[in-house]
Amino acid sequence: MLGAALSAVLWGGEGFGAAAGDAPGGGSGGSVVPEVSFWVDPESGAARQATEWRRTGRTADALLMERISTRPQAEWLAGSAPRAAVAARTTAAVREGRTAVLVAYYIPHRDCGSYSGGGAWSATGYREWVDEFAAGLGDRGAYVIVEPDAVAQSVDGCGRVVPKERYALLAYAVDRFKRQANTRVYLDAGNPAWHPDTSRLVEPLKQSGIARADGFALNVSNFQTDAVSSAYGDKLSAALGGKHFVIDSSRNGNGPHSGTDSWCNPPGRALGVAPTTVTGAPLIDAYLWVKRPGESDGTCRGGPAAGQWWPSYALELARNARS
């Protein structure tokens, strides 16, 4: 359902889309989460591309690319032995007085074997991987998004997934990450277009440890608008005892594509609200760029393999963003 993406300038200056203080979302007052400065990867695909285009005289394109390269984006941990990578990202963030955003993406049979298939070979292997990830966090902390698609996919009935086992593994990951100081944990809950009926997600999320998480994540690697995601999140939160949530706003500036395969490298999309914890909505803890803009969803519409950098698509997202 999504492409696995792998990830020092704080978001600032002139933005695009809605300004931080104008971020969509119902309710009055702001989130209870204090303002957080998220870490920006200086070696991201967008950063390297902007540098290359400046070097070769493509200044206008470089300026557009900096709409991506200067914004905080999540680092996806999708391979074996994550400890060193997690430690490196969180250490770099702490040195700058910032917070890393990380994605744990290694559940067995992730993506049901589609574009981003893979993950741990066994339940035991996954628990060991989670332990390594947590050890890499130390006490530096991070925002951790737990296993995009895993719950929503299980509700759909992926043939190779045993829901009870998967939910137990997710609960293990939530518990283990929450044992690390300064770490906020958000369990992925899909997007409004995938399961419009939020009641189908409630019990699976409970079995997956949502009570012990800081909240849930919505719209990861998808294109639903912030307003639609916010309304959906409010409804799901009400069924989960008031849990907070975060929204992936990385590519939803123009909303979803109306054609076929609307989730996979759809044309005409745009960057959304820049990452911020100043959301103006009491239940929304942050707008995050969980999916790294410009990294492919998979080999659809001429794209490279899932997670690979695709400069022409990145440029389109930046060009279409509201200035």
Give the active site residues.
Answer: 111, 149, 297
CB 22 within 8 A of CB 83: no
The separation between CA 54 and the C-alpha centre of its own chain, rounded to angstroms, equals 29
Q: How many whole angstroms separate alpha carbon 145 and alpha carbon 85? A: 16
Query: Residue 17 burial by CB count (10 A; 0-12/13-18/19+): exposed, middle or buried?
Result: buried
What's the one-letter identity of residue 82? Answer: P
Closest CA to 187 of 164, 217, 225, 149: 217
The C-alpha torsion from 218 through 14 and 12 to 293, rounded to 10°, is 40
Closest CA to 276 of 8, 18, 50, 44: 18
The C-alpha torsion from 54 through 60 and 64 to 70, rounded to 10°, is 40
Q: How many whole angstroms separate alpha carbon 111 and alpha carbon 153? A: 8
For residue 309 the two structure tokens come to 């950098």
For residue 289 the two structure tokens come to 């760029």
What's the one-letter identity of residue 178? Answer: K
